[in-house]
Amino acid sequence: MKDTFVKILEWIGNSPFRLFTLCIISILSAAGWFFYTEKDTFMASYRAQQALPKMNGRYEEAVAFIVKRSNADLIAIFEVNSLLNSRKLAYLYVRGEGRVKTHDGYDVKLFTSNHSNNSDVISLMAGDLPCSSYASPQSFLGFVYKEKGVTYMCRISVPPEPSKFIGQISIGWREQPEDIEASKTLIRIASEMLYTEKK
């Protein structure tokens, strides 16, 4: 081992290029060894992600259903992956602007350092439909909501039942709706529209 180390040092000599090459080879070798030893873990994680149910992509239909029957000013639909702590924006609608694609794919994460956000997520996982005034943003997209004038919001999981949380719908209003219960019914139906259970 000592002789090998000495030979490597002699080979490097005063050449920065050889030292750089050796560093790159060492890093790639270490990374290769790590992935090789952990391949079973990676494959198990990959299979688990592939087995997760997904939304059916009927975003426009669900949004049109809500817009036609309510005065909602903003509707955001997220794809959720609980294994990766991911919550990515899939569809954003703003009244007066229509479909807004600027922030598509933005990941606001599921659990964050924001206590209010985490409370909402736990509530959604339990199958609840929390509605409240939206006083302060909880993420970058929260600032987008405020810029659009949103002051009141409701959130629901997709599908709207405990133990399955593969998506989320957030609906915002510039003024609190008069009949919040009727709005909740519409939101539940829209959530059901986004999930098709495989048989």
Are 28 and 36 in contact, with CB atoms under 8 Å apart?
A: no
The full DSSP string for 105-158 is T-B--SS-S-HHHHHHHHHHHTT---EEE--S-SSHHHHHHHHTT--EEEEEEE
Backbone angles phi, psi at 180, to 5 degrees: -70, -30
Computed over every residue of the chain, the mean pLDDT equals 86
Enumerate the β-bridge partners of residue 131: 154
Q: Where are the domains of the chain?
A: 2-37, 53-193
**Nearest Cα residue to 192 out of 171, 164, 173:** 164
DSSP single-letter state for residue 174: S
Say how far apart CA 116 and CA 127 lie, in whole Å.
17
**Nearest Cα residue to 170 out of 196, 144, 195:** 144
pLDDT at 46: 46
Per-residue pLDDT in tens (0 to 9) along the chain, 199 residues: 667 766 766 766 777 777 778 788 888 888 787 777 776 664 554 454 445 678 999 999 999 999 999 999 999 999 999 888 999 999 999 999 999 999 999 999 999 888 888 888 999 999 899 999 998 888 899 999 999 999 999 999 999 988 788 999 999 999 999 999 999 999 999 999 999 877 5
What are the tokens at 169?
């719908």
Superfamily of domain 53-193: GAF domain (3.30.450.40)
pLDDT at 170: 96
| Beta-carbon-side half-sphere exposure of residue 104 (alpha carbons within 13 Å) | 8
pLDDT at 2: 65
Are 121 and 85 in contact, with CB atoms under 8 Å apart?
A: no
The secondary element (H helix, E strand) that includes residue 97 is none
* Global pTM value: 0.74
Say how far apart CA 21 and CA 23 lie, in whole Å.
5
pLDDT at 53: 79
pLDDT at 18: 75
Say how far apart CA 105 and CA 9 lie, in whole Å.
49
Q: Per residue in 102-121, is it b (16+ CB within 10 Å) or e — as a string?
A: eeeebbbebeeebeebeebb
